[in-house]
Chains A and B, each alone.
Chain A
């Protein structure tokens, strides 16, 4: 089945485009900000949904567009390659505050021209008091605001970015075309009754949708004309015919379903692009590309109108397009998302809705093209299942061996039954795709943020539980506790204290999410994104109002391994062995293990208590018990869409906490697992760096003991392998065999690999100029190593390296 490219390397065209984008520094673009400000000013009294439709319309009409030399897939996010647009309706405060610092950041720097700064300062004046973040904060209770600002629960990313974390219904878009959507909206509109209480809002919604779709069509038409104009001045007949073809492609897909693979891919990219222009969400994902594009590819193949090499070139050009999308975040938010990731996920493999292996020739082509490009985008996920093609799995390992962290694996064997258990229809459950990093949803039917709600800093909560509810970092007691650790008679009292504190903070996290959701619903509804998610059109509602078929969300819990390790250290060393006294432990946690005696205590905590990641039930089961305190509490709550249409409207747990382990750790004092104050906590569900000493099978065992069926927001496991681990066929087969065991027998949820030697990483930190294209797995996504801040670089270097 393998479709092998005739040429093993990328074409000169793709190499040139790649070089151009890699050598383009990040800048910003003020066009969108200018247009949105103008339109909002002109339509102060217009309902927000229409205001946003008009702003989108004018942006798509007036923004600079260009077609670069050699491009086959066209469409740009802003006025220049890698120029991040500004979304002033979300937030302006940090822009003004950090404007002069953008180019001086230790990681993810942006260059801004002086005239742009001047313009932005002027534009921002209009937005004062009107932005999403201000509304979101104002909706939080004073207590929750304090908890948020203290860094125990962080929801900044929810109020400074579009929602996203979604895949729209590309299968349907490709099937009915944009004109098909217009008809569908018009049909729905005819069913409205004027006397209906929701008439006005629904009618406005439909007007907005139609405006949105039409302006999307005009946007495509602009490329049709541009390509045509450029074709008259093309440098040669070959480029001329390419431009003519681009123009014809745009002419067709602006209205009709695409005909052929090229058009289907171009429309897919246009959809992705307008979603990025409309809102500034991250994790706008492409769903199961090898499934919805297959028909087009096979038809072309049968007709003899496409070669494998050309299909590869088109895919590779598309990946470069994905990489061209850029986003500027505040510095504090950047630290949670180091490396400027957009998390545009592409999922391949898995099963068909009737349970057969869904791997097809396009799966191989997508895998191959991503492997040849070695970029940070797309974020490639493979759905594993027990009957997956061995040949395909082998190819996946080969790509992993290239060392850029992809593909990551999600496991059908645990995800599908869990989704069905939540009430997801079987055919939808079998059609899930990864979203963003590792989280999962049913493309085109699921609301925003299957993960990506607020971050809950578990270890701050744990320390509060030890301190009678007092948070030593802020000096405040947000929730009175059950007592002081020094007075706890047994370990049971500590577990009860944790349960009490984490329940209260869980409730607070839901309240904070609710404030964010309400603000987003009111101030920044998405138009095109709602149009492309079922059943928004028939319900006459945006996604945020309850338009989607399914709605389950999750926040991110940070410090999983530290929680288990801290529990185990206290239980064993304090309560069972009396090796450390309660007072002693508290003293040295407070003073960060000061002095020789403090270090002695720390070494005992590190070396004489079981550590998560070593398949030791003692600690693993404590972690499960502690985590379940959170999960049990979480099940009590609903989202703002509850009772408004979608199935679910509930929460599950999630650990896809991206690079937040570094900044989250930076606000946590010393912890009983022997971790020093303000150093990173463990990332995702991975063991604490350096403590998983028994090899990968033990790590897999520990991780699979977690209640993974309840952590559908993602069970993030990073493993680092030495490059020699995949040096020959036998080694490769061994890795495949342990992966199969992890997924098929142990029902593991996810794993991703970094295969870069420590020496390479150290050298890249020292000599970034030699490693501009070095891509590493951060946590749920890959990033260019040299764009990361030194803290995050160190965190990646420190991860335990397993060898096979």
Chain B
């Protein structure tokens, strides 16, 4: 079983053609700007959208005292709730939802196969995303093998922040890696993501040496890496890899603000400014100068 929190069909931006994105739950990093905060914990997360709450009280009655009314809102004891399945489909108006469920390889495949004719016509396929797909258990390789068997194009969006063997064993089964390079400076990387830049860098080198097809993805985040020296350093690293063809800039936006609210989490980037596509033009130019094909993603 793999832990999935969303399957999104008709995705057009992560890999070629029409794609289905599988979002896996659980991530080794804690990026402060994360766009999918519900993806971070490996166990289920409770999201509560008070605007949809019609005060039926089903969640309160089924929470064993861990959810209590509080004026117009709810107090949710997220630390101690374990009865996720009891809460999953409890709210009639879906003001409360539970993100993350165990899915078998077969049930994931059958969702993926629904759009087969669209992949064929458009040159699309599947994108595994997250969270961190390579942080899933060993069954991930089985899923990839099944997809390969069916001749479905696979892309994996990854932080590369996992032990190399997790990636290594999947190498021949992934058609393209969309690998994040968030920063080259270890200290800044550690402060903003809780992770180890060295591991990412090393895995990039391994990926490159293994001859895999990959694109370098750069989330452009204000106060983190959105400065000339920092972005140049990232681009320089990317262009130094012998197999890297594309670099994708992903400008920051604060659309995730509401999800943090639903999760009861603080969002330090909630009031950060959005990065405009036009601001990235010089970096596109620089990357192309360095021999990369640069794209700005939506």
List residues of A whose CB falls within 8 A of some B CB: 596, 599-601, 603-604, 607-608, 615, 694-698, 701, 734, 737-738, 740-741, 744-746, 804
Residue in B12, B92, B114 whose Cβ sees the most chain A Cβ within 10 Å: B92
A695 touches B121 (CB 8 A): no
Q: Which residues of B contact A697 (CB under 8 A)?
A: 9-10, 18, 114-115, 118
Looking at the assembled complex, report how far the CB atom of B54 sits from the nearest CB atom of chain A, in whole angstroms: 6
B56 touches A600 (CB 8 A): yes
Q: Which residues of B contact A804 (CB under 8 A)?
A: 12
Q: List 9 A-B contacts (CB under 8 A).
A: A596-B55, A607-B92, A694-B9, A695-B8, A698-B10, A701-B115, A741-B120, A745-B121, A746-B117
B114 touches A701 (CB 8 A): yes
Q: Which residues of B contact A596 (CB under 8 A)?
A: 54-56
Residue in B8, B18, B94, B117 whose Cβ sees the most chain A Cβ within 10 Å: B117
Interface check B185, CB cutoff 8 A: no
Interface check B137, CB cutoff 8 A: no
B89 touches A744 (CB 8 A): no
Residue in A608, A697, A734 whose Cβ sees the most chain B Cβ within 10 Å: A697
Looking at the assembled complex, report how far the CB atom of A612 sits from the nearest CB atom of chain B, in whole angstroms: 15
Given contacts A737-B17, A745-B117, contact A694 B10 (CB under 8 A): yes
Q: Which residues of A contact B12 (CB under 8 A)?
A: 734, 804
Nearest chain B residue, comparing its CB with the CB of A696: B10
Looking at the assembled complex, report how far the CB atom of A597 sits from the nearest CB atom of chain B, in whole angstroms: 8
Q: Which residues of A contact B9 (CB under 8 A)?
A: 615, 694-695, 697-698
With A599-B54, A745-B121 already in contact, 14 other A-B pairs whose C-beta atoms are closer than 8 Å: A603-B54, A607-B93, A615-B114, A694-B10, A697-B18, A698-B9, A701-B114, A701-B115, A737-B17, A738-B121, A740-B121, A745-B117, A746-B117, A804-B12
Q: Which one of B18, B58, B114 lies within 8 Å of A734 (CB-CB)?
A: B18
B54 touches A741 (CB 8 A): no
Given contacts A603-B54, A695-B9, A804-B12, contact A744 B121 (CB under 8 A): yes
Residue in A698, A737, A740 whose Cβ sees the most chain B Cβ within 10 Å: A737
Q: Which residues of A contact B17 (CB under 8 A)?
A: 734, 737
Given contacts A694-B9, A745-B117, contact A738 B94 (CB under 8 A): no
Interface check B122, CB cutoff 8 A: yes
Q: Could you tell me the distance between the alpha carbons of A746 and B9 in the complex, rounded to whole angstroms? A: 17
Q: Could you tell me the distance between the alpha carbons of A590 and B230 in the complex, rounded to whole angstroms? A: 65
Looking at the assembled complex, report how far the CB atom of B28 sits from the nearest CB atom of chain A, in whole angstroms: 30
Q: Which residues of A contact B117 (CB under 8 A)?
A: 741, 745-746
List residues of B whose CB falls within 8 A of some A CB: 8-10, 12, 17-18, 54-56, 58, 89, 92-94, 114-115, 117-118, 120-122
Looking at the assembled complex, report how far the CB atom of A572 sits from the nearest CB atom of chain B, in whole angstroms: 11
Q: Which residues of A contact B55 (CB under 8 A)?
A: 596
Q: Which residues of A contact B120 (CB under 8 A)?
A: 741, 745
Looking at the assembled complex, report how far the CB atom of A105 sits from the nearest CB atom of chain B, in whole angstroms: 37
Q: Which residues of B contact A745 (CB under 8 A)?
A: 117, 120-121
Nearest chain A residue, comparing its CB with the CB of B11: A695
B56 touches A738 (CB 8 A): no
Q: Could you tell me the distance between the alpha carbons of A561 and B122 in the complex, rounded to whole angstroms? A: 29
Q: Could you tell me the distance between the alpha carbons of A600 and B93 in the complex, rounded to whole angstroms? A: 8
B121 touches A734 (CB 8 A): no
Looking at the assembled complex, report how far the CB atom of A804 sits from the nearest CB atom of chain B, in whole angstroms: 6
Q: Could you tell me the distance between the alpha carbons of A521 and B56 in the complex, rounded to whole angstroms? A: 60
Q: Which residues of A contact B121 (CB under 8 A)?
A: 737-738, 740-741, 744-745
Looking at the assembled complex, report how far the CB atom of B153 sits from the nearest CB atom of chain A, in whole angstroms: 14
Q: Which residues of A contact B56 (CB under 8 A)?
A: 596, 600, 603
Given contacts A608-B89, A694-B9, A695-B10, contact A738 B114 (CB under 8 A): no
Q: Which residues of B contact A608 (CB under 8 A)?
A: 89, 92
Nearest chain A residue, comparing its CB with the CB of B111: A615
Q: Could you tell me the distance between the alpha carbons of A7 and B143 in the complex, rounded to whole angstroms? A: 56
Q: Which residues of A contact B118 (CB under 8 A)?
A: 697, 737-738, 741
A604 touches B92 (CB 8 A): yes
Looking at the assembled complex, report how far the CB atom of A407 sits from the nearest CB atom of chain B, in whole angstroms: 21
Q: Which residues of A contact B114 (CB under 8 A)?
A: 615, 697-698, 701
Q: Which residues of B contact A600 (CB under 8 A)?
A: 54, 56, 58, 92
Looking at the assembled complex, report how far the CB atom of B288 sits from the nearest CB atom of chain A, in whole angstroms: 18
Looking at the assembled complex, report how far the CB atom of A581 sits from the nearest CB atom of chain B, in whole angstroms: 15
Q: Could you tell me the distance between the alpha carbons of A741 and B10 in the complex, rounded to whole angstroms? A: 13
Q: Which residues of A contact B18 (CB under 8 A)?
A: 697, 734, 737-738, 741
Q: Which 5 A-B pairs have the closest CB atoms?
A: A695-B10, A603-B92, A737-B122, A745-B117, A741-B121
Looking at the assembled complex, report how far the CB atom of A717 sits from the nearest CB atom of chain B, in whole angstroms: 16
Q: Could you tell me the distance between the alpha carbons of A695 and B9 in the complex, rounded to whole angstroms? A: 7
Q: Which residues of A contact B8 (CB under 8 A)?
A: 695
Q: Which residues of B contact A737 (CB under 8 A)?
A: 17-18, 118, 121-122
Nearest chain B residue, comparing its CB with the CB of A605: B92
Looking at the assembled complex, report how far the CB atom of A722 sits from the nearest CB atom of chain B, in whole angstroms: 13
Looking at the assembled complex, report how far the CB atom of B55 sits from the nearest CB atom of chain A, in whole angstroms: 8
Q: Could you tell me the distance between the alpha carbons of A674 and B283 in the complex, rounded to whole angstroms? A: 51
Q: Could you tell me the distance between the alpha carbons of A627 and B252 in the complex, rounded to whole angstroms? A: 48
Q: Could you tell me the distance between the alpha carbons of A698 and B58 in the complex, rounded to whole angstroms? A: 31
Looking at the assembled complex, report how far the CB atom of B120 sits from the nearest CB atom of chain A, in whole angstroms: 7
Nearest chain B residue, comparing its CB with the CB of A740: B121
Q: Which residues of A contact B122 (CB under 8 A)?
A: 734, 737-738, 741
Q: Which residues of B contact A601 (CB under 8 A)?
A: 92
Nearest chain B residue, comparing its CB with the CB of A616: B114
Q: Which residues of B contact A603 (CB under 8 A)?
A: 54, 56, 92-94
B94 touches A607 (CB 8 A): yes
Q: Which residues of B contact A741 (CB under 8 A)?
A: 18, 117-118, 120-122
Nearest chain B residue, comparing its CB with the CB of A739: B121
Nearest chain A residue, comparing its CB with the CB of B122: A737
Residue in B10, B89, B115 whose Cβ sees the most chain A Cβ within 10 Å: B10
Looking at the assembled complex, report how far the CB atom of B213 sits from the nearest CB atom of chain A, in whole angstroms: 20
Q: Could you tell me the distance between the alpha carbons of A608 and B88 in the complex, rounded to whole angstroms? A: 11
Q: Which residues of B contact A746 (CB under 8 A)?
A: 117
Q: Could you tell me the distance between the alpha carbons of A596 and B118 in the complex, rounded to whole angstroms? A: 43
Nearest chain B residue, comparing its CB with the CB of A597: B56
Q: Could you tell me the distance between the alpha carbons of A744 and B94 in the complex, rounded to whole angstroms? A: 37
Q: Could you tell me the distance between the alpha carbons of A608 and B17 in the complex, rounded to whole angstroms? A: 32
Looking at the assembled complex, report how far the CB atom of B27 sits from the nearest CB atom of chain A, in whole angstroms: 25
Nearest chain A residue, comparing its CB with the CB of B17: A737
Looking at the assembled complex, report how far the CB atom of B183 sits from the nearest CB atom of chain A, in whole angstroms: 29
Looking at the assembled complex, report how far the CB atom of B296 sits from the nearest CB atom of chain A, in whole angstroms: 12
Nearest chain A residue, comparing its CB with the CB of B115: A697
Q: Which residues of A contact B58 (CB under 8 A)?
A: 600
Q: Could you tell me the distance between the alpha carbons of A744 and B121 in the complex, rounded to whole angstroms? A: 9
Looking at the assembled complex, report how far the CB atom of B133 sits from the nearest CB atom of chain A, in whole angstroms: 21
Q: Could you tell me the distance between the alpha carbons of A514 and B149 in the complex, rounded to whole angstroms? A: 57
Q: Could you tell me the distance between the alpha carbons of A694 and B111 in the complex, rounded to whole angstroms? A: 12
Q: Could you tell me the distance between the alpha carbons of A701 and B18 in the complex, rounded to whole angstroms? A: 14
Nearest chain B residue, comparing its CB with the CB of A577: B89
Q: Could you tell me the distance between the alpha carbons of A45 and B85 in the complex, rounded to whole angstroms? A: 81
Q: Which residues of B contact A698 (CB under 8 A)?
A: 9-10, 114-115
Q: Which residues of A contact B92 (CB under 8 A)?
A: 600-601, 603-604, 607-608
Q: Could you tell me the distance between the alpha carbons of A607 and B95 in the complex, rounded to whole angstroms? A: 11
Q: Could you tell me the distance between the alpha carbons of A326 and B234 in the complex, rounded to whole angstroms? A: 66
Q: Which residues of A contact B94 (CB under 8 A)?
A: 603, 607
Q: Could you tell me the distance between the alpha carbons of A54 and B195 in the complex, rounded to whole angstroms? A: 91
Q: Which residues of B contact A607 (CB under 8 A)?
A: 92-94
Q: Could you tell me the distance between the alpha carbons of A607 and B58 in the complex, rounded to whole angstroms? A: 15
Q: Could you tell me the distance between the alpha carbons of A696 and B12 in the complex, rounded to whole angstroms? A: 12
Nearest chain A residue, comparing its CB with the CB of B95: A603
Q: Which residues of B contact A694 (CB under 8 A)?
A: 9-10
Q: Could you tell me the distance between the alpha carbons of A740 and B17 in the complex, rounded to whole angstroms? A: 13
Q: Could you tell me the distance between the alpha carbons of A601 and B56 in the complex, rounded to whole angstroms? A: 10
Looking at the assembled complex, report how far the CB atom of B111 sits from the nearest CB atom of chain A, in whole angstroms: 9
Q: Which residues of B contact A744 (CB under 8 A)?
A: 121
Q: Could you tell me the distance between the alpha carbons of A599 and B8 in the complex, rounded to whole angstroms? A: 29
Nearest chain A residue, comparing its CB with the CB of B117: A745
Q: Could you tell me the distance between the alpha carbons of A615 and B110 in the complex, rounded to whole angstroms? A: 12
Looking at the assembled complex, report how far the CB atom of A720 sits from the nearest CB atom of chain B, in whole angstroms: 15
Q: Could you tell me the distance between the alpha carbons of A658 and B247 in the complex, rounded to whole angstroms? A: 49
